[in-house]
Amino acid sequence: MKDDRNRSVRLLWETPAEPTRGPKAALSQARVVEAAIKVADAEGIEALTMRRVAETLGFTTMSLYRHVPGKSELLDLMVDAVWGETEQTPKTTWRDGLDFYARQLWSMYCAHPWLLQLTNARRMPGPNAMTRTDAAFAVVSGLNLKPEEIVAVVTSIGQFVAGVGRTMADRVLAERETGVSEEDWWNDRDELWEHFTPERLPMMTHIWTTGGYERPLDEFEFGLARVLDGLAVFIEAEERQREAPLVRRETCL
Amino acid sequence: MKDDRNRSVRLLWETPAEPTRGPKAALSQARVVEAAIKVADAEGIEALTMRRVAETLGFTTMSLYRHVPGKSELLDLMVDAVWGETEQTPKTTWRDGLDFYARQLWSMYCAHPWLLQLTNARRMPGPNAMTRTDAAFAVVSGLNLKPEEIVAVVTSIGQFVAGVGRTMADRVLAERETGVSEEDWWNDRDELWEHFTPERLPMMTHIWTTGGYERPLDEFEFGLARVLDGLAVFIEAEERQREAPLVRRETCL
DNA sequence: CTAGAACCGTGTACAACGTACACCTCGTTT
DNA sequence: AAACGAGGTGTACGTTGTACACGGTTCTAG
């Protein structure tokens, strides 16, 4: 059963029948997942080892494998458990809805920065993640967009939040891991700044001396406003084009 | 000298004096970096081990440490070497300039997807990366933006490309690593689709049946156009009324 | 009522990783 | 000729995920 390609599908989407025989389990899948999330929250993804999770639960490392097939599947379960903590996007205007969706993602990433240290490619999507995404699709469904445009719009929001979040997460996790603040770390590399000369880096030194790095804009708020503005331009243009009688585009049912 | 905090600064920004004594080096830092990039290009970052690099060069693992202080510093050198392959943004309009900058980043990420598997937090910036960034700042310097707004505008482009790139990179590297195409992999998980019912996921099933996933829009092109549109709205508004204060909201981190 | 199947948790073991350390061998400087 | 600094080698250690064998516990089939 090693190469059962649907094992992780069943793991996430189906609740297995309870065993009738054998001793009562002292541990459970839910407790393993919960403990793993707690470890990752506190110490980052590189501290998340099977040994560490087992230790916090007071069991041996190998006992975890009775409840979870492997580390990869444990990560799948952790991710979908965290999606379950978010609220579904309510039905409102497209802009309010996407704003809500973006902020839900943002607070999810803030609470669990390790999410952004994980690959998303070929990660098995769980029911929680899918229902949240479905609700996000719904808020842009009344705009007469083509189906692939709906996907593109929601995806662009998701990717924006993930992009900004990753920078934030890397910073937070590095601070937590090393115990050295971002500022202290850069100040320790004092010889670096000697190479930042106006001849070599005119703009950066100018921005530095005029205080551009001292009071940076909030990356999330600034970027979100820009992306939503950009989507507004697109959506309005798309609606105008659709109302024009001559330039009928093919609608897929 | 172990905790010399400026060691990596000198490594990237200064060329060390050539040694006078001892045997001629059969290896060099440049060759190590080059070989490492080649390995990462072909097999991804998780295949980039000191043993693997040494093997492709025909030397022992420990010989690398004569030319590179450690793996972390090797990564710094690889990153800046790759930045050196890109062209600097020429001086044009802000929109053409940012478009150029975005496409440079994009082609860099396409050529070296492993860049996006690396943390950016506390990575020592090298001279190539800094001059490229400086040139990008320059194209938005004629707009009378506040210094922190210049940083925010360029950063938002960088983060957009990194966000889209990461999705692309994860996919490409997973295919290269496993030898299984994305499509085949998802087709193997056939039981997953049985859970995608219209009751549970109405929008997704609708988009699926209307072909929204069959001809997806280009994420890079779609997103870039949206972000540039959004920045245009901001820049025009900013030019119109310079005296209006900018609204800043608090976020969780 | 008993044999055995199913299940839980433990302990040992292995290959791969980064790299510290001791070592020998060159080539230049004193 | 002796000393010294540098390049490359080989061994060894602590980590990681997890395969495998094992012993104890609980329910089911005969």
What does B191-216 look like in DSSP terms, one character per residue? HHHTT--TTT-HHHHHHHHTTTTTSP
pLDDT in tens, A38-57: 999 988 898 999 999 999 99
Asked if residue A249 has pLDDT above 70, the reply is no
Q: How confident is the model at residue A248 (pLDDT cuts 50, 70, 90)?
A: very low
Calculate the angstrom distance between C1' of C2 and CA of A19. 22
The span from the CA of A183 to the CA of B50, in Å, is: 31
From chain B, the residues in CB contact with A210 under 8 A are 147
Taking residues A146-165, what's their average pLDDT?
Answer: 95
Residue with token string 């202290």: A184
Task: Indicate the helix (H) or strand (E) that contains A153.
Answer: helix A147-178
Question: Which of B128, B159, B197, B218 to mutate against chain A (most A CBs within 10 Å)?
Answer: B159
The domains found in chain B, sorted by start residue, are: 7-82 (1.10.10.60), 87-240 (1.10.357.10)
User: What is the pLDDT averaged over residues A1-10?
Assistant: 75
Task: Give per-residue burial for B223-232: e unless 16+ CB within 10 Å, then b.
Answer: bbebbbbbbb
φ, ψ at A17 (rounded to 5°): -65, 145
For nucleic chain C, which protein residues have CB less than 7 Å from any of its atoms?
A 19-27, 59-63, 65-67; B 20-24, 48-52, 61-62, 65, 70-72
pLDDT, residue B196, reads 96
Nucleotide nearest to A50 (CA to C1'): D17
Query: So what's the pLDDT on residue A14?
Result: 93
Instruction: State chain A's mean pLDDT as an integer.
Output: 91
List of chain B residues with pLDDT < 70: 1-3, 241-253
Phi, psi of A62 (to 5 degrees): -70, -15
What's at B117, amino acid-wise? Q
How would you class A119 by CB atoms within 10 Å of its CB: exposed for 0-12, middle for 13-18, buried for 19 or more?
Answer: middle
Separation of alpha carbons A79 and B17, rounded Å: 50
Q: Determine, for residues B6 and A189 on separate chains, whether the beta-carbon distance falls below 8 Å.
A: yes
Contacts with A48 (C-beta within 8 Å, 6 or more apart), sequence order:
A36, A39, A40, A114
Distance from CA of A96 to the nearest CA of B (A): 16
The residues close to strand D, meaning Cβ under 7 A, are A 20-24, 48-52, 61-62, 65, 70-72; B 19, 21-27, 59-63, 65-67
Residue A247 has pLDDT above 50, yes or no: no
Continuous segment of H or E residues that includes residue A220: helix A219-243
d(CA A90, CA B82) in angstroms, rounded, equals: 44
Task: State how far the Cα of B187 lies from the Cα of B183, in Å rounded to an integer.
Answer: 6
Give B175 CA → D20 C1' in Å.
Answer: 31
pLDDT confidence of residue A179: 84
Q: Indicate yes or no: CB of A229 within 8 angstroms of CB of B225.
A: no
A223–B226 C-beta distance less than 8 A: no
Q: Which nucleotide's C1' atom has the smallest distance to the CA of A28?
A: C8
Which nt has its C1' nearest the CA of A69? D18
Average pLDDT for A97-111: 98
Q: What are phi and psi of B249, to 5 degrees?
A: -110, 155
Angstrom distance (rounded) from CA A13 to CA A69: 15
Angle A149-A153-A156 from CA coordinates, rounded to 5°: 135
pLDDT, position B2: 41
Query: Contact B167/A121, CB-based, under 8 Å?
Result: yes
